[in-house]
Each structure stands twice: as structure tokens, then as C-alpha cells.
Amino acid sequence: MPDFTDALKPAYDGAATLAGERAGSNIDADALSKHLLSRDGFLERQNRICKVLEGEKLFDKSQQMNLSRPDRYHLGLARAKAIRRLVHKHSWDHEDAKMAEYLTDEMSPFHLHLTMFVTTIREQASDEQRAYWMPKIMDWSILGCYAQSELGHGSNVRGLETTATWDPEKKEFEIHSPTLTASKWWNGSMGRTATHAIVVAQILIPSPKSGSALKSHGPHPFIVQIRDTKTHLPLPGIVVGDIGPKYGYASMDNGYMLFDHFRVSKSAMLSRYATLDDSTGAFTKRGHPGLVYGSLTFVRANIIMNARLVLARAVTIAVRYSCVRRQFHDRDEKGAGPEMKVLDYPTVQIRILPLLATTFALHYTGEMMFELYGSTRESIERGDFSTIAELHSASSGLKSLCTTLAADGIETCRRAMGGHGFGGGSGLVGINADYLSKPTVEGDNWMITQQVAAYLIKKMTTAVEKPDSPPADSVDELFQMYIRQRDHRIPQNAIHGTNIDDKAIVEIFQWRAADLTYRAYRARVVDKKSWNSLLIQLHELSRAYSEQILTTTFHRAFASTSSSSLSAPTPSVLRTCFRLYTLYTLSNSPLPFLTSLAVSQPTLDALPDTILSLMSELRPHAVKLVDAWAIPGYLLDSALGRYDGRVYEDLYDRAHRKNDEMNKTVFNVDWRSEEVVKGSGDDGKRILSKL
């Protein structure tokens, strides 16, 4: 119903404000968008798919936050099925379907089917197994998930309790959950959706010499049917269901599953890199032992590549809103001028602008990880496993760092926006809750850094013992250089008055990483300290090494953009982003840089003023820089982050016109009556029935 509020306008014109911000920067946002997001036709695909989804009522997001958790799964399943129908209707390819899921912005119950499930079959199944399973996967006659994590074990894959015992007489495996903590747990798509699962279980095989003694051959993946494809009920011997409410992922049926001596054929064992001889019971593994974790590495690589877009969404909202929002007057300004834009306060800039710079650091590192994963997979296909250790190390360390930066960054943006950042119109409620899983899933961020540290200590050991051997990669080069120069190190000056030495910044980050590695090597290899006593030190080493990767790849990328198609002033603004990201990172943890002799004290002393100066340089371009991430309004779903700046109009519209279930219901607030809804006469029975 129309009312007098329809004619009211905000005190400040948000649309004019953002138009003025854009006019104040001569960055070509479209050209920067193409530079960032041109791979695989991302921008064209995003625009094309977004138009389709916005025309479908089922994909309307305006009321989904009001839905209960069971209803969110119902909606998620309906949308997942609808996307498959749209694939056929519009002849979409796989990348189009992935884009639809990305824009829908909820974890689809079908998500694991074409990620970890199909990746495991493609990478670890034999040719015969792939020939049998891939057609079923690609025509969606089965739906898959990946069942590795258990109630009692997550990061420690070697500690999994589910067993797969070989029966040499029946030529079958018996999959069993011997304990409650052996229950598969957290596995996405498993609770109510999947018909099949990749089940990772400890292979137990009778000893040829003693038929009763079982020998463990470690965790191995099996493909197992868990539900009847017609009735969709669990198969006998399997208990499976949804684990219940979570922080986020309301639309995903994360599940639990236990097996009671459940038998599968020998062909269920994925056998590209492992074989079992029927007659002798001999179990043989081929290739690198890390291959069993190939699906995890795939997921970690994708998490790293996605971190930039996740953080960019939060920063886009924060930058736009902080330009529109005005609070207080400048204390030193005379006269009654307008209130200051919130983003003009250094206390807001220091929270948002370094995160804006971080989005670009994450982008270039994500591109590096994309190339590293692709080249490593090509090498593995050729039978060359030499780069697996590097991939495992980089993916583990960067997954830990990048998800920490993104998750913490989302929350920092929310807090920087004040009270409205807490509201549903912020556009951060869903992304904040959903992304909170990333620092713990697919390897806890504190635990998986041990893999990085172990890799680096091994590399440093080689550098110490064989300092003149030909370096195999850039890590060997860095460590050998460190060994040669450590006894006569001169701390680097990166700031000379108003001049900043970018190469010196890179060298500072690299030296710190090398020095922390050497200290870990001394503690572990020379002093023989226990691994457990070093865990905090090793975590700090992993972060330092990963920050060095972000710094090096960012510098390499912006250095090359000066000769690319990007016109001025974009390359110089990217340089400012590089400097702000690196120097802000340095300022947050200066002690290791100082004690390692990586950086000089004068450089540390100059950081506060330099960071303020860099933020002042970046501030006029902030809106154009977030525009360059080209995030559609449909995906943002944010009143605060609207491209047109109509923040307050949208907030009021969501509250007054789109909140019918609350605002059109008349409640009985008399405490003497049990009735909740006025005139219902239900004496509160409706709400009681839901408990």
C-alpha cells in the first residue's frame, strides 16, 4: 500500500556521490576488468548467465534469508535441479553451469558431484573404471560426493578409522565403521542428495604368510553406491543423514555415514595408482604417495583462486557504502559544510584500503596457482611426479593464508561499516557465514602449514649440505643465496624519503622467509627439537613463506602491466596497491623482519607515514578499483554496495515493502494471553509445534 514515505528522499544523494567518485578517477575500470577477469570468457559468461537467472522466479533472493534451514535445503535442491534444466534449455557448457552456481551464491547440493567426485574419478580411476563411471557422472544418472573426513579425524587423513578389509575368498572388500568416531562427517552432498560416494578408507589386507593377520596399506579411495537410484533410500548396511544446522551453508546437506560390514566388489577400489593381485593378495602402489590426496589439492587450489573474488565482494560493498555514508564534520573545517564521507577518515581507510590492495595480491597469486596446478597435472599425466611436493606445499600454505585474509577481511569490512554492516541489507550475512568454513575445511589452517614447513626444512637441509648443487627451482636459488650471504647481511632500506624501492620490498620478504626457514632447520635438524614444540614457529614460517609468494607474484605481475594494454594511471595505481599491501603486512608483524636482518630500522620507522601517504594516493581511485571487479548487483545482493549508490532507498524498501511476513502480521503482545498472532486463537500452538 502506498503511503507518505513514498515521496521521501535521503538527506544525501548517494547516486550523485558515487558518480562524483567515478568522475574523480581516470582509471579505465572496464579495461582493468578485462585484465583481471578475461580468462575463459569470465566477464561475457557472467553477464549472459546473470540475465537468465534474474528472469527466473526461483532464483529471486529477496526472501531467502527469512527461510528456515530445511527450507533452504529445499530451495537449494530446487535451484540445483533448475540449473541442470537451464543447461539443456540454453545449451550451456560446464563453465556456464559453474557460473550459474557462483551467481546463485549458495552451496549447491550438486556441488560435490562435478568437483571432488568427478575429479577423483578422473585422476585416480583406471581407464576401465573411468570408461564405466564417467558417462554415468556426466549424464547425471548418478550423483556423487566425497566422503573422507570423519567424526574423529579431519586434517589427519592417515588417522581415518573407516576400514576396507579384503576378503580373498569372495574377492570383495568389506567397508566397516568400527567406532562411532569412524562415522563419515561433514561430507557435502552426502546427507540427503548423493547416490554414490568416494569413500576414503584404510585398506586392510590379510598377510600372505598369515591369513588372519591384517596389514594396513593406508587410506585409499573407493567408489561406493550408498543409496538406491530408484527409491533414493540408503542401501542395507549403511546409515546416512544430514548433520543438522551449521554456521553457514544452509542449502548444503553436509552428512554423516556409517557402514556395517558393507561389501563392495574389488572394482570399487580406484586403481590408477594401486593394484591388488587376486591370487597373491599383493597390494602395490605406483607413483607419488601424495596422489591419494589429489582431490584435496584440487579443492585447495580452487579455494585459493576463489579468495580474490570473495574478498572483492566484501571490499566492493565497504568502499561504495563508505563513500555514500556521511558522519560528523571535519573538526578543523570552518563553516557548516556537509558531513565527511566515512571513507575519508584514516581510521576507516586503514581497515578497508589495505584490503582493497589485498584483493589484487590474491588475484595474481590465484593466477599463479591456476598455472601451477595445471602444469603439475600435465606432468603427472606424463608420469612425472617431481613437482607434486611443490604443489602440495604451495597449495597448503596459500590455502591457509588466503582464506585467513579473506575470512578476516570480510569481518573487518562488516565492522568498518558500523551498524548497517550488521543488517541483512549489507550483503555480508551469507558470505560471512559461508566463508567462515574455509579456514577449517580441506585442512585446518593451523595444521596444514606443517606440510609447508616440512617441505621448506627439507629444501634448506639440501641448501646447507650441498650449497653448490644446481638449483632445481626458485626456492633452491633463494636458500642457496641466503646461505652465501647470511654472515654478512646488510638490512635493506625500502623507503628513502618519499621514494619506495619495490625490488627491495620483494627482497625483504624473501629474506625473512629464508631466515625463518633456516631457524626452523637449525631447531629441528641440528638441535633435534621435537616437532610438537616447534608447531607455532612452523606456522609462522608457513605464513612468512606464503606472504613472500604473494609479494613476489604481485610484483612480477604489476611490473609487467606497465607494458601491457592497461593505460595510465592504472599501472601506477596497481603499484600503489602493491606497496600498500606489502608495507601494511610488514607493519603488522615487524619483529621477524627486524630480527632476521631483512629490513632496516629506518624503514620500519617510516612505515606509519608512508602507509598514510599510500592510502591518500589510493583513495581517489577506490570506487573505480572495486568497479573493476565487475561484481553484478544480483551477486552482491546488497543495499549498501549498490552500484548506483541508492543505499538508503534500498534499505528502506527492504524493510518497509519486502518484509511482509513480519510487518503485515499483527501480534498479540499481552503477556497474559498465550496467543501469539492476534486473532489466531491458537494459544501459541503453532510455534510450539515447531519445537
Q: Where is the binding site, in residues?
A: 188
Going by the annotation, the residues of the binding site for FAD are 188
Give me 570's grid cell. Answer: 592504472
Report yes or no: 565 and 28 within 8 Å, Cβ to Cβ.
Answer: no
User: In 3D, which of 575, 602, 578 has the Cα closest to residue 590?
Assistant: 602
**CA gyration radius, the chain:** 28
148 CB-near residues (< 8 Å, 6+ apart): 157, 160, 184, 187, 198, 200, 296
Report yes or no: 544 and 398 within 8 Å, Cβ to Cβ.
Answer: no
Strands 499-500 and 262-265: unpaired
Strands 144-147 and 238-242: unpaired
Q: What backbone phi and psi angles, to 5 degrees, belong to 647? A: -65, -55
Tell me how long the chain is: 691
- Residue whose cell numbers read 528502506: 652
Q: What backbone phi and psi angles, to 5 degrees, belong to 200? A: -95, 120
| Distance, CA of 494 to CA of 585 (rounded, Å) | 14
Cα separation values, 542 from 449, 454, 504, Å: 6, 10, 21
Helix (H, G, I), strand (E, B) or coil at 687: helix
Task: Provide the terminal-to-terminal Cα distance of the chain, rounded to the nearest Å.
Answer: 34
| Distance, CA of 681 to CA of 583 (rounded, Å) | 65
Does the active-site annotation cover 101? no
| Distance, CA of 247 to CA of 429 (rounded, Å) | 11
Active-site residue, from 442, 507, 547, 617: 442
Of the CA atoms within 13 Å of residue 551, those in its CB half-sphere come to 26
Q: What backbone phi and psi angles, to 5 degrees, belong to 499? A: -95, 140
DSSP 8-state class, residue 227: B
Cα separation values, 161 from 150, 199, 556, Å: 8, 12, 45
- Residue whose cell numbers read 636458500: 479
Distance, CA of 90 to chain centre: 29
| Distance, CA of 586 to CA of 592 (rounded, Å) | 9
| Distance, CA of 27 to CA of 622 (rounded, Å) | 10
Give me 66's grid cell. Answer: 527469512
Catalytic residue annotation: 442
